[in-house]
């Protein structure tokens, strides 16, 4: 009986640690989305978005965003938690600058509606990732290949300008990022259960930032894919 009791206690401790870690991840993800949303709205409402899209700085910002994501992913084990947090916040701000262009292309009401649709789908898949007993780790490589395929097809379609390929990419993209949401949430849950809460404040903060970045990217990309279907053009 004592052995069984110890197992139950250990299981409960793992669940509590995972819940605390997940809360930290989702809090930072929310902060990132909030920063992006505020920056994008300010740029659009102030008229600065129009100037930015037509300037060479737009491409510079895009490359800077990619650089920050790659740097954070590659150096997370070597940089301090404060630096990782600063990079994440900086990335969210830069992403707000580039995403301000959607306010120029789509109506505010359709952007808001798509945001709530995205939040609903994201939330449903996050819950699935938390409660399912199925191991989703096998989906990771499949979804990653799908993501690479989307990127390659998107680049090719810059030259082809095929509307059929555009819609196919968008539909596949929705499925890929819906799947990645469940996969990433389960992975973050497992990290919490595997003892990251016992590794010190630095490791906890850095782990939470990396988890937040993954979910932030899932949400933003799912939103952009859905916006292609539900967004109403201003033209």
14 in a structural domain: yes
6 in a structural domain: yes
132 in a structural domain: yes
41 in a structural domain: yes
Res. 128: pLDDT tops 90 = yes
pLDDT digits (tens, 9 = 90+) for 194-226: 877 778 889 889 999 999 999 999 999 999 999
* Predicted confidence band of residue 5 (pLDDT cuts 50, 70, 90): low
Contact 34, 201 (CB under 8 A): no
Query: Whole-angstrom Cα distance, residue 219 to residue 224?
Result: 9
Please choose, from the candidates 228, 232, 212, the residue with its C-alpha nearest in 3D space to the C-alpha of residue 36.
Answer: 212
62 in a structural domain: yes
- The pLDDT value recorded for residue 205 is 94
166 in a structural domain: yes
53 in a structural domain: yes
Please choose, from the candidates 176, 180, 179, 155, the residue with its C-alpha nearest in 3D space to the C-alpha of residue 165.
Answer: 155
User: Would you say the pTM of this structure is higher than 0.75?
Assistant: yes
Query: Whole-angstrom Cα distance, residue 127 to residue 42?
Result: 32
235 in a structural domain: no
Domain range for 48 is 2-230
Number of domains in the chain: 1
Q: Average pLDDT in the 29-49 region?
A: 96
Give the tokens for residue 89.
């916040």
Give DSSP secondary structure letters for 106-128: B-HHHHHHHHHHHHHHHHHHHHH
């Amino acid at each position: 009986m004592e052995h069984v009791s110890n197992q139950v206690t250990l299981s409960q401790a793992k669940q509590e640690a995972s819940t605390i870690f997940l809360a930290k991840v989702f809090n930072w993800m929310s902060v990132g989305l909030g920063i992006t949303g505020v920056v994008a709205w300010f740029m659009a409402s102030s008229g600065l978005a129009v100037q930015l899209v037509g300037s060479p700085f737009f491409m510079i910002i895009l490359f800077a965003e990619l650089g920050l994501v790659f740097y954070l992913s590659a150096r997370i084990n070597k940089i301090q938690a404060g630096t990782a947090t600063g990079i994440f916040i900086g990335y969210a701000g830069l992403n707000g600058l580039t995403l301000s262009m959607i306010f120029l292309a789509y109506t505010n009401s359709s952007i808001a509606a798509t945001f709530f649709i995205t939040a609903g789908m994201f939330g449903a898949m996050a819950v699935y990732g938390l409660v399912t007993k199925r191991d989703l780790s096998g989906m990771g490589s499949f979804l990653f290949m799908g993501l690479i395929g989307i990127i390659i097809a998107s680049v090719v379609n810059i030259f082809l300008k095929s509307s059929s390929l555009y819609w196919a990419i968008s539909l596949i993209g929705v499925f890929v990022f819906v799947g990645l949401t469940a996969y990433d949430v389960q992975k973050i849950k497992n990290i919490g259960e595997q003892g990251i809460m016992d590794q010190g404040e630095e490791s906890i903060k850095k782990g939470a930032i990396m988890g937040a970045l993954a979910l932030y990217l899932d949400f933003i990309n799912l939103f952009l894919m859905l916006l292609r279907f539900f967004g109403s053009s201003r033209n």
